[in-house]
Amino acid sequence: MIEASKRQTLSNLVRLRYADTPGFLDTTQLISGYQLQHSGFLGVASDTFPIRPNGGIAAQLQESPTFTFQPVTGDAFAHNFLRPLPPTSLLPLAMGGLPIDVLLRLSVQSINLLSNNRPFSRNVGDLDAEVDAQSVDFFSLLHDLRLLQAAGLLNIQFQQAPGTQDKETENCHVFISISSTTDPTLSALAEKTRKQLNFSSRYERMEVVYGVGTPEPGQIRMLTRSMLSILGQIAYQIQVPDDEVSSGNTRKSSDMESSYEAKPLISVHSGRKPPDNAFVAVLYDHYYYWIDRGDFESKLAFSITQMLLELSKTTLNPGTVVTIPVSK
């Protein structure tokens, strides 16, 4: 199931790269069926001397799992893929040790007035296609947050309102604080980051709220992305073969990326032959697309994307289901 989920995610990324319609299936049920067959025989050979009995016993165990899938459509699709992920769901992932720079670069459109512009929405010649200083500052902020996280100075607190269920986030609050240190280098970095986030000396911690623009005192505004936007961000950074561009099947990456864009978070390779050492691979339009098993950074970002997909899923009532029995 995990491997199938990885292939589905990569397949949807490639499909989006080609302006094709993505498809999402949730595995709602897995039933493992087993069948034990056994047989035996005993005989006596009469044409041999001395007469010897002969026989045998045979047994076979057959596994027949049944998968039940639910296509994600309607309200479930809107909830899962079009609704922005709330900061109260995102930031606790960094509490568990996920790199905060990769997490925020994937899932956040802006922090206060610092913008993480989506390069795939721009074309060469657009009026705003030049380097945006706010975007440069955004990536600088992510780098500094990662350093503070690695040093143990970045603190994220999750506060759940009384009477709130475990999966409810609307009435919950998440806060960021930066600890002090005697290390002069880290102390200067912490002070720089506090200024970038508009930390106020009146507050020991700042609440992260959903929104854009200048924050209220004691708050950090974070405009998060929907899951479909996250997938699109990754998809349009995929490098495709030249003949796929010349044929008009898709567009060249440089036509959609602005010059400041750094190395893609997930490097996806392509080729005519199946890869030898792939972390995950799919076949689309006569080409194989894969993530190399030795590319740790790409695997990490892809795994975080998988976690965000799981985080976005809803528990709305299921609609149509597809049941597929598999014989082995």
Per-residue pLDDT tens digits for 5-49: 899 999 999 999 998 988 776 655 545 555 556 666 656 555 555
pLDDT (average), residues 215-219: 91
In a domain, 75, yes or no: no
Q: Which parts of the chain are beta strand (E)? A: 25-31, 34-44, 53-63, 66-71, 108-111, 114-115, 154-159, 173-178, 206-210, 219-224, 269-271, 278-284, 287-292, 322-325
pLDDT (average), residues 225-254: 87
pLDDT at 46: 57
**CA distance linking residue 319 with residue 251, whole number of Å:** 36
Task: Quote the pTM value.
Answer: 0.75
In a domain, 192, yes or no: yes
In a domain, 155, yes or no: yes
Q: Are 175 and 159 in contact (CB under 8 A)?
A: yes
In a domain, 319, yes or no: no
Helices (H) and strands (E) in the chain, counts: 9, 14
CA count, 13 A, side-chain hemisphere, 45: 9
Strand 219-224 to 269-271 pairing: unpaired
In a domain, 66, yes or no: no
pLDDT (average), residues 134-162: 89
pLDDT at 170: 65
Placement of tokens 């924050």 in the chain = 215
Number of domains making up the chain: 1
CA count, 13 A, side-chain hemisphere, 186: 15
Angle, vertex CA 192, rays to CA 191 and CA 194, nearest 5: 65
Write the DSSP string, 227-265. Answer: HHHHHHHHHTT----HHHHHTTSS--GGGTS-TT--S-S
In a domain, 306, yes or no: no
pLDDT (average), residues 172-188: 94
- Host domain of residue 126: 86-225
Q: How far is CA 266 from CA 121, 156, 262, 294, 296, in A?
A: 18, 26, 11, 12, 10
pLDDT at 116: 87
Placement of tokens 């190399």 in the chain = 292
In sequence order, what are the beta bridge partners of 63?
34
Q: H or E segment at 133?
A: helix 133-151
Instruction: Phi first, then psi: give them for residue 306, nearest 5 degrees.
Output: -60, -40
Per-residue pLDDT tens digits for 4-16: 889 999 999 999 9
In a domain, 119, yes or no: yes
Burial track 246-270 (b if 16+ CB lie within 10 A, e otherwise)? eeebbbebeebbbeebeebbbbbbb
Q: Are 198 and 220 in contact (CB under 8 A)?
A: yes
Q: Is the pLDDT of residue 137 over 50?
A: yes
**CA distance linking residue 71 with residue 178, whole number of Å:** 43
In a domain, 138, yes or no: yes
pLDDT (average), residues 169-188: 90
3-class DSSP state of 45: coil
Q: How many of the other CB atoms lie within 10 Å of CB of 180? A: 10
* Cα-trace Rg, the chain: 27
**Amino acid identity of 77?**
F
